[in-house]
Amino acid sequence: MEAAEPAAAPVPALHLQQLAKRFGQKVAVDGLTLAVPQGSLFGLVGPNGAGKTTTLSMATGLLRPDHGAAAVLGRDVWRDPAAAKAIMGVLPDGVHLFDRLTGAELLRYTGLLRGMPETDVVARASDLLGALGLDGTGGTAVADYSAGMRKKIALACALIHAPSLLVLDEPFESVDPVSGEAIRAILRGFVASGGTVVLSSHVMELVESLCDRVAVVAEGRLLATGTLDEVRAGTSLQHRFVQLVGREALGTETLAWLRSASR
């Protein structure tokens, strides 16, 4: 009897290989390699300026890398962008929306651009507005939305075509706790049904309670990656993050003028 072939490893949902980007003299991302397994809820964490947004922008086809490659479920983001983008939903950083449109118009526009039938677009837009606590605001111009509402309508736009991979840059920023809980439930349900989420956040408790895998980056390099338990190594993610990133606690001399009360 012939020996059974070993099963091929499943293709990662997102595979970054040696991604690099420099802005002038500043190296923002320095040869970053990362594989996000299918079905994971993956948290990308790092201090301000670590290169998270630059990495996610290159991973999603928004910013051309100087070197390296990115692939979504085996589709190369830069060589075959149409195939990669068709199965990806993206919430970019500081997203610029067509804000003269109403929320409902923006969703309709996004869905039709994705090639969806109009009846599906209308039904899903209504579902998304309800699920994200935006019901009753579909007729309001996005320009008149609050920061949190803009974040939620941008997330709805990322979801409307039911992608396989969601890449979300700071999805919880400016979002109220009730909406935050709704977003967490949506992301958990999405992953439970076989989808994959990659999100960046500065809130370690949130990443710890939501994500099953994490990567810590600093100065454009990968410091650690693995399951949540592997990375936090018996301590809290916050503690491990500070250890890895190596920021010293502020000494008593720091901002001494602020404490020398002449008030």
Ligand X SMILES: Nc1ncnc2c1ncn2[C@@H]1O[C@H](COP(=O)(O)OP(=O)(O)OP(=O)(O)O)[C@@H](O)[C@H]1O
Tell me which residues touch ligand X (CB under 6 A).
23, 26, 28, 46, 48-54
- The amino acid sitting at 87 is I
Shortest CB 9 distance to ligand X, Å: 29
For ligand X, give the closer residue by CB, 80 or 93. 93
By residue count, the chain amounts to 263
Shortest CB 209 distance to ligand X, Å: 20
- The amino acid sitting at 80 is D
Shortest CB 144 distance to ligand X, Å: 26
Angle at which helix 103-113 crosses helix 147-159, to 10 degrees, equals: 30
For ligand X, give the closer residue by CB, 52 or 240. 52
Shortest CB 28 distance to ligand X, Å: 3
For ligand X, give the closer residue by CB, 26 or 79. 26
Shortest CB 164 distance to ligand X, Å: 24
Shortest CB 42 distance to ligand X, Å: 16
For ligand X, give the closer residue by CB, 134 or 222. 222
Shortest CB 55 distance to ligand X, Å: 7
With a CB cutoff of 8 Å and minimum separation 6, the contacts of 163 are 87, 88, 89, 195
For ligand X, give the closer residue by CB, 66 or 135. 66
For ligand X, give the closer residue by CB, 46 or 138. 46
For ligand X, give the closer residue by CB, 53 or 179. 53
Output the 3-class SS for the chain.
Answer: CCCCCCCCCCCCCEEEEEEEEEECCEEEEEEEEEEECCCCEEEEECCCCCCHHHHHHHHCCCCCCCEEEEEECCEECCCCHHHHHHCEEEECCCCCCCCCCEHHHHHHHHHHHCCCCHHHHHHHHHHHHHHCCCCCCCCCEHHHCCHHHHHHHHHHHHHCCCCCEEEEECCCCCCCHHHHHHHHHHHHHHHHCCCEEEEECCCHHHHHHHCCEEEEEECCEEEEEEEHHHHHCCCCHHHHHHHHHCCCCCCCCCCHHHHCCCC
